[in-house]
Amino acid sequence: MKKRTQRIIVILVAAAMILSVLIPALSVMAGATVTKDDIANIKGELADITAQKNEAQKRLNAIRGDLSKAKEQVELIQGQIVRTEAQILASQRLLDQYDLEIQDKEEDIAQLEEQEEQQYRQFCEHVRWMEETGSVSYLSILFRAASFGEMLDYTTLIGDIMDYSNGIIDRLKATQSQLSGARDDLQLLRDDQSAAQSELESQKSELELQEQEASELVGQISASASEYAAEVRALAADEAKIKKELAEAERKYAEQLANLNVSGAWYWPLPGRYKLSSLFGSRRDPITGRADNHTGTDIPALSGENIHAAQAGVVTTVGTNKYSSYGYYCIISHGNGRATLYAHMKTLPIVKEGQTVAKGQVIGYVGTTGRSTGNHLHFELRVNGNRSDVLKLYSGMTFTSPSGGTIKGG
């Protein structure tokens, strides 16, 4: 029983030593934080933005240097500025993710190094024990057995010792292999992070150049005070003509206007488009950058979208770029001195002067003709020839303001 007891003690000690090696390894695996998916998602986002920038850059390169299209260049560059800013934010998030991943990997390496040190100490202690005990003849041990049962006990004990010796070496090799792989992974992460940092610096430099180019173009557009004053006078003259035309139209189409069925809520000319890019009243002109009084409400939309009549009425004016500020436009009179104006259409309106239209009828398509910086509908209300806020007609409706907040009609 004495030898059996020794055997059991040896096995328990070996098991304890094995567990002391395995437990740190399991803790390394359990503590790892997986952020590779986050990194891949951000890289995908950056790739999408880069593709958008490349497409916009092609359009910009096609018109760069053509001062007659300076406004379009400004619009494209401003779009590139927004995309570059988005790139910078995404790149910074990518760097933050790399920091987290590198931190996790460094913690893994520290635990593996500690594990390696423990296993190496065990290896050295085992070698020292082997040296102190000298060479052992396992065969002679077996022959010392007093019985067959005792021989079986000795055989099992010898096998346990040999397995334990081999296990120490195998676990040490496995840990060293893990450690080597972790260090390689860490170096790759640091290389990727360095590349991302360089890309971020490049994006910041690109943003500065874009802002400078946009500023120079805007300066070219509005550099001449005399040209700006001439433009203001031209717009004032256009306004006076439109007011006179409206008064004449009221008389000319008096009979048609009297027979109109103008009732019920007013129809929004771009159904589903309730985000506004510019409101009626004071604002900064998007082209000149100067303080300005906006004459209507701007509704962004895709090129070619249907524009609907806000109310039943008679078409009093169909503009063929007659007034440069409006591009292709039309005016519909609804009686009682009220009229609505729809500007910057893609093509000539599809209605004709003197035509009676129903509420909600398609009258043209969204575009960016005239004094415009992008596809949208410029929507105006005239009361007795004077401009008024068209949103007053839409009581109970909710819109998104240019700043992102909500505003109520009425």
pLDDT digits (tens, 9 = 90+) for 177-189: 888 887 888 888 8
Q: What percent of the chain has pLDDT over 90?
A: 19
The dihedrals phi and psi of 282, each to the nearest 5 degrees, come to -70, 140
pLDDT in tens, 312-349: 999 998 986 544 578 889 999 998 889 999 988 988 89
pLDDT score, position 31: 42
pLDDT score, position 353: 92
| Residue bearing the bigger pLDDT, 218 or 197 | 197
pLDDT tier, 212 (very low <50, low <70, confident <90, very high otherwise): confident
C-alpha distances in Å from residue 398, one per residue of 265, 268, 298, 406: 14, 12, 15, 7
Question: Structure tokens of 81?
Answer: 């500025």
pTM over 0.75: no
Q: What is the mean pLDDT of residues 220-228?
A: 54
pLDDT tier, 1 (very low <50, low <70, confident <90, very high otherwise): very low
Q: What is the mean pLDDT of residues 215-221?
A: 70
Contacts by 180-188, CB closer than 8 A, 24 or more apart:
182/105, 182/108, 182/109, 182/112, 183/109, 185/105, 186/102, 186/105, 186/106, 186/109
pLDDT score, position 155: 54
Rounded mean pLDDT of the chain? 76
Measured CA to CA, the distance from residue 172 to residue 169 in angstroms comes to 5
Mean pLDDT lowest among 160-169, 297-306, 376-385, 395-404? 160-169
